[in-house]
């Protein structure tokens, strides 16, 4: 993948359009027609060559267009023409300038205050399931099939793998799972390296000893 290229004194946005693209994503999200997981998945749906070629905020722009169309907020014809279709009514923006500080300060918790029993306990050894779902998943490929140890239970959270597809929040426990780098990568890795991955109950299975 090549070297990492930090930029000294990097600006928050490199171009005005990046700032506008960022803000458009947040402001349009205030319509609550999609959730954060669906938004992430929409970037994953970009054609792979585009995904690798596009800059970060180009991806955000492309994904926003698709989300807006799927949500029925705009039509593809409107995107193409740049103007509202004749006879379309004018909406009222859900996010006003006055609301911005409180909306950002409040955020949107992904934890859920529901009683769901944890399937695993801190200190228990687990295996990340070897699954390859066609849609969105937060189980990284490099962890699949590997054995780790539950480091801590973070509590109950929305499950992105279903939420991204609007198939429900399916709240369940999220754990920080500690994997030895050698378990993930083999002998080339340092025996003193560990990777901690946040995984949900549905990503994990018990290790039979």
Partner 1 sequence: MGDWHGHKHHDHEHQAVPSDPALRVKALESLLVEKGLVDPAALDALIDTYENKVGPRNGARVVARAWVDPAYKQRLFKDATAAIAELGYGGRQGEHMVVVENTPSVHNLVVCTLCSCYPWSVLGLPPVWYKSAPYRSRAVIDPRGVLREFGVVLTEDVEVRVWDSTAELRYLVLPERPAGAENLQEDDLAALVTRDAMIGTAKVAAPQRAGA
Return the residues of window 76-105 that contact partner 1 according to CB under 8 A: 78-84, 88, 90-93, 95-97, 99-101, 103-105
- 165 lines the binding site for partner 1 (CB under 8 A): no
Torsion-angle region of residue 172: left (phi > 0), alpha (psi -120 to 50) or beta?
beta
- Closest C-alpha to 60, from 21, 20, 11, 13: 21
Cα–Cα dist 200/29, whole Å:
25
Judged by beta carbon, residue 102 or residue 115, the one nearer partner 1 is: 102
- 140 lines the binding site for partner 1 (CB under 8 A): yes
- 73 lines the binding site for partner 1 (CB under 8 A): yes
CB of 182 within 8 A of CB of 159?
no
Of 10-69, binders to partner 1 (CB under 8 A) are 10, 12-17, 19-24, 26-28, 31, 40, 43, 47, 50, 52, 55-58, 61-62, 64-65, 68
Residue 125 bridge partners (DSSP): 149
Tell me the site size for partner 1, rule CB under 8 A: 91
- 1 lines the binding site for partner 1 (CB under 8 A): yes
- 156 lines the binding site for partner 1 (CB under 8 A): no
Cα–Cα dist 2/32, whole Å:
38
């Amino acid at each position: 993948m090549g070297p990492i290229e930090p930029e000294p004194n990097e600006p928050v946005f490199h171009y005005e359009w990046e700032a506008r693209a960022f803000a458009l994503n947040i402001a349009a999200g205030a319509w609550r027609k999609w959730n954060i997981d669906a938004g992430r998945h929409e970037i994953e749906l970009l054609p792979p060559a585009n995904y690798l070629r596009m800059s970060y905020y180009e991806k955000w722009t492309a994904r926003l267009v698709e989300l807006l169309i799927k949500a029925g907020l705009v039509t593809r014809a409107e995107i193409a023409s740049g103007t509202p279709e004749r006879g379309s009514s004018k909406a009222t923006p859900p996010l006003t300038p006055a609301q911005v500080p409180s909306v950002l300060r409040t955020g949107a918790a992904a934890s859920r205050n529901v009683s769901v029993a944890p399937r695993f306990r801190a200190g228990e050894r687990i295996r990340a399931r070897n699954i390859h779902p066609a849609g969105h998943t937060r189980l990284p490929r490099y962890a699949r099939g590997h054995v780790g140890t539950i480091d801590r239970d973070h509590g109950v959270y929305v499950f992105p793998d279903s939420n991204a597809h609007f198939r429900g929040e399916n709240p369940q426990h999220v754990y920080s799972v500690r994997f030895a780098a050698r378990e993930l990568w083999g002998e080339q890795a340092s025996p003193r390296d560990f990777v901690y991955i946040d995984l949900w109950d549905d990503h994990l299975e018990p290790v039979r000893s």
